[in-house]
Structure 1
Amino acid sequence: MPSSFRPVGLSRNRQADPLAAAYALPRPKESFHHGSTAESAFDALYVHAAPGLLHQTHLLTGRRGRAFQAVEYAFSHAWEYWPEVAVDSDPVGWVRFHAYEYALSPWHRFRELVDREEPVPTSPMHRALLHLSARHRRAVLLCDGLGLTIAQAAAELEASCAATESRLLGARAVLAECFPDSDDHDALPLRIRTLVAEGSAATVPTAGSVRAESDRRLRLLTRSVAGAVAVLGGLVCTFVLVSSPWPEPPDRHARTTDTTQGPSRDVRSHP
C-alpha cells in the first residue's frame, strides 16, 4: 500500500501535492532488498520505519510505553513472517498495520488499570486527537497524517471506502470543534500532517536486538508447544490404559451349581 500524499480534499483519484510528498514514509519494497541476507533487509526496513512508527503509535495512544511495545511487537512479528513481508507490496504498511492493531487493542484497557500510565499529549493537536475514538483517530492519522488515499486507508483498515470516508469526515468535525477559534478549518489536516512529520526523538532498540528477541520467543513457543503435545499424548495413553476392558473372571456361581449335583453315574439297564 504506497503512501503518496494527497491534497486535503477527499478525492480518491487526485494526485498528491508536492509539499506532502516530503513527508511520505514508505518507499518501494525493492529498496529493502539490497542486502545480501534476510537480516540486512530486515535491518534496512527497521532503521527506515521504526522511528516514525514509534512516533505514530505514541500519537495514537499518548503512552510512550505502549508505543515502544507496539513497535517491538510489529517488527518481531515481521521477522517471524519475513518471507511473507519481504514480498509484500508495501513492507512498511505491513508493519504499520500490526503496530496500530497492537497499540489500539481493546485489551490494553485492563492493563491501564494496573500500569497507571497516563497519556502525555505533546501538543494541543495531540490532545485533540486523543479525544477521538480509536477508529476515527486511526483514519485521520492515515489520511491526513500520512497522506494515504481513501482507498489505501480503507484497505489497511479492512473497511469499505464509504466507511473510511465517514470516519475521516467525523474525525475532522470533532477536531474542528476542539479548535473553535480557528478561522481556517481546512488547515487542520495540514496541522496533523505537520504533527506526524515532527518525528520522534526517542531512541529505538537496535534491529539486531529485535531479531534476537523474536527468535527467542519463537524458540520458547516451540518448546511450549512440544511440551504441551507430550503432556497431551501422555494423558491420552493413560486414558486408553485405564479405560481398556480387563478379562472377565470365571463364573464361580456356575461351577458351584454343577458340583452340587454330585458325580454323574453310569446307569445301566439289566435284563
Structure 2
Amino acid sequence: MTRSTTDEAAAPPLPSPKERRRLREAKSLSEEEVAQALGVTRATVRSWETGRTSPRGRKRALYAQLIAPDPDPAPAARPETARRRKRPAPERSTGPAPERSPAAAPERSPEPVPEQLPEAASPVPAAGAPAAAAEAPSPSAVAPPPAAGALASAPPGPESPSPSPGPESPSPSPGPESPSPSPGPEPGTPPLSPDEAFDALYAHAAPGLVRQTFLLTGRRSLAGESVERAFQLAWHRWPEVAVDRDPVGWVRAAAYEYAMSPWHRLRRVHRQPDAPPTEPARRALFEALLDLPPAYRRTLLLYDGVGLDLPETAAETEASTPAAAGRLETARAAVAERLPELVAAASPAEQSALLHDRLSGLARAEHVPSPPPARAVRTGSDTKARLWTRAAIAFAALLIGVTALTLHTAPTHYEAPISPAERVGGVPPRGGPQKLTAQDLELQKALTEQLAHGPERLVPRIP
C-alpha cells in the first residue's frame, strides 16, 4: 500500500484533457498508436482526453512521457519560432510592411492583433499545424482561420473599415473596442483576489460570448441565459478555471453545451428562434446558420468565427480532426448556397476571411441582451450552491428519519404465515377456527347459563 501511494505521488503531473489531445495531435499520433504503445484500448485513450478518467501508475508515467512536448529551442532560434507560431492575418494593408529586426520580435509577439477576439488571443504552438495538415482529409479546402477576431465584445454600432497601417505606423495597437486578451495584472502589481480575477474575466469575455451564443442558437434570451449559467458554473469551480490554460475557452464550452441542449425544445419560450435580420444578406446568413445541424454550426462558428485552428476546434467539439474538417467543408458548402459571394472566392483562405467578416458583422449588428453585472453572477452562483447544499442536507436528514422510523416500527421476529387448509383422506380440512354448529351453540349456552354438578371433567347434560 505504501509503495502504491509513493508511486502515485511520484508520477509526473498531466496537463488538462484538452491539452493532452493537442499534444498528441502535435506529434501526429493517432488514438490507436497511443493505445498500442501503452497496451490499452482506444476507448481508454479517448476517456483520458475527455477528462472522464485519468491514467495511473506505470501507464501514467508512460503516457506523460509519450505526449511530453519537445524541449524549447535554442535562444537564438526563439524569435524566429515565435514569428512562425503566429497565425497569418488577412491582408488589410496595401503598403509595404517595414522590416523588423529579430530582437524586436519577442516584444511584439504578446501584443494582440486589432479586433482580435478574447477567445482566440492565446497563441497556438506551431506543432499543431503539421498535425492538422496530416489528419485533415483535404487540406486545400480548409484554410487557416483569419487572425482578426469576430464577434467582438464592443456594443453594436455601424461597421467601419479598420484603417490600414501605413509605413509610418508599423505596429498597430488595439483600439478601445478590442480589449486586451489577458485581463491579468501588470508585472509588479499585487495579485488579484478571486473576486477581482473573476470580474476581470467576466467583463472581458461575457459580451462577446453572448453574441457568439446568439449566432449558435438564434435566440437572444437563451444566449444570455447560457452565458450567465456558464459563468456561474465557472465561479463555482473557480480553483479549476483559474489555473486552466484557456479560461475563456472553458466558459465558452460550458455556454455552448448548455445552449445546444435539446431539452430547451420543451420550453415554450425557446421553441422558435427570434426574428431574423431585415437586411437580405444578413438574413440569408442567419437562416443558413440555423439550417445547419448543431455540430456543423458549432464547428463553423469556432473555426471561421472565433478563429480557432482545426485541432482546437476538434477538441472543443469532441470530434477527431478529420471529422471536424469534414464538418467544416460541409457547413461552408451549405452556407455558400445562400451567399453567392462565397462561391466567387478565389481560394479557401479568401472564403474563410469573407465568412469571418460576415459572421462578425452579423454578430455586431444584432441587439443582444447585456449580461448582468459580475457581482450578480457571483451572488447567484453562491445562492444556488447554498440552496443545493441545503436541499442535499434536508434530503439526507429525511432519508435518515424514514430509515429510523422503519427500524423502530418493523417487527423484531419473523412469524410464519398459516398454511392453507387441505383435504387429506376424505377428512374435511381444518385450517383454523370453524363456524359453530347448532349443537355447539346449545352447548355453549348451557355452559354459560347452568351450573355444572359433579367433577369438572364431566360434560354437562344438554336438555
TM-score range, shorter chain: 0.7 to 0.9
Report how far residue 148 of structure 1 moved.
0.8
1:18 counterpart = 2:173: no
The Cα offsets for residues 52-103 of structure 1, whole Å up to 9 and x where unpaired, read as 0000000011110100101101100000000000000000000000011111
Equivalent residues of 1:144, 1:189 under 8 A apart? yes
- Paired residue secondary structure (1:221): helix
Q: Which residue of 1 aligns with 2:323?
A: 163
Q: Which residue of 2 aligns with 1:212?
A: 379
Distance 2:228 2:397 in 1: 31
Equivalent residues of 1:154, 1:164 under 8 A apart? yes
Equivalent residues of 2:230, 2:255 under 8 A apart? yes
Aligned length: 238
Q: Which residue of 1 aligns with 2:418?
A: none
Distance 2:301 2:402 in 1: 51
Distance 1:234 1:154 in 2: 50
Q: Pick closer, same or farther for the CA change 1:25–1:184 going to 2, 3 Å.
A: farther
- Paired residue secondary structure (1:107): helix
Distance 1:87 1:182 in 2: 40
Deviates more, 1:38-47 or 1:154-163: 154-163
- Paired residue secondary structure (2:398): helix
Question: Which of 274, 290, 296 is matched with 1:119 structurally?
Answer: 274
Equivalent residues of 1:70, 1:102 under 8 A apart? yes
Deviates more, 1:80-89 or 1:197-206: 197-206
Equivalent residues of 1:141, 1:192 under 8 A apart? no
- In proportion to residue count, which structure has more helix? 1
Question: Which of 262, 265, 268 is matched with 1:106 structurally?
Answer: 262
Equivalent residues of 1:176, 1:188 under 8 A apart? no
Any unmatched runs of 5+ in structure 2? 1-17, 20-83, 92-112, 124-180, 186-190, 416-456, 458-463
1:235 counterpart = 2:402: yes
Report how far residue 244 of structure 1 moved.
4.3
- Paired residue secondary structure (2:262): coil
Q: Which residue of 1 aligns with 2:27?
A: none
1:87 counterpart = 2:243: yes
Report how far residue 213 of structure 1 moved.
0.7
Aligned amino acid, residue 171 of structure 1: A
Equivalent residues of 1:70, 1:100 under 8 A apart? yes
Q: Which residue of 2 aligns with 1:259?
A: none
Equivalent residues of 2:118, 2:205 under 8 A apart? yes
Distance 2:343 2:184 in 1: 47
Distance 2:342 2:360 in 1: 21
Aligned amino acid, residue 219 of structure 2: R
Q: Pick closer, same or farther for the CA change 1:68–1:196 going to 2, 3 Å.
A: same
Q: Pick closer, same or farther for the CA change 1:129–1:196 going to 2, 3 Å.
A: same
Q: Pick closer, same or farther for the CA change 1:117–1:173 going to 2, 3 Å.
A: closer
Distance 1:68 1:62 in 2: 12
Distance 1:182 1:193 in 2: 11
Q: How does 1:240-259 map to 2 (within 5 A)?
A: 240-245=407-412
1:194 counterpart = 2:357: yes
Equivalent residues of 1:144, 1:193 under 8 A apart? yes
Q: Pick closer, same or farther for the CA change 1:184–1:108 going to 2, 3 Å.
A: same
Equivalent residues of 1:145, 1:189 under 8 A apart? no
Distance 1:53 1:247 in 2: 65
Q: Which residue of 1 aligns with 2:10?
A: none
Deviates more, 1:29-38 or 1:57-66: 29-38
1:203 counterpart = 2:370: yes
Equivalent pairs: percent with the same residue? 41
Larger radius of gyration: 2
Aligned amino acid, residue 389 of structure 2: T
Equivalent residues of 2:231, 2:251 under 8 A apart? yes
Aligned amino acid, residue 223 of structure 1: R
* TM-score calculated relative to the size of structure 1: 0.78
1:31 counterpart = 2:198: no
The Cα offsets for residues 208-256 of structure 1, whole Å up to 9 and x where unpaired, read as 11111111111111111111111111111122223341599xxxxxxxx
Equivalent residues of 1:71, 1:99 under 8 A apart? yes
Distance 1:181 1:19 in 2: 17
1:173 counterpart = 2:324: no
Q: Which residue of 2 aligns with 1:70?
A: 226
Equivalent residues of 2:219, 2:270 under 8 A apart? no
Distance 2:296 2:271 in 1: 24
Q: Pick closer, same or farther for the CA change 1:221–1:195 going to 2, 3 Å.
A: farther
Deviates more, 1:20-29 or 1:81-90: 20-29
Report how far residue 192 of structure 1 moved.
3.3
The Cα offsets for residues 30-69 of structure 1, whole Å up to 9 and x where unpaired, read as 9344352100000010001000000000001111010010
Q: RMSD of the alignment, in Å?
A: 2.8
- Paired residue secondary structure (1:219): helix
- Paired residue secondary structure (1:43): helix
Aligned amino acid, residue 192 of structure 2: S
Q: Which residue of 2 aligns with 1:56?
A: 212
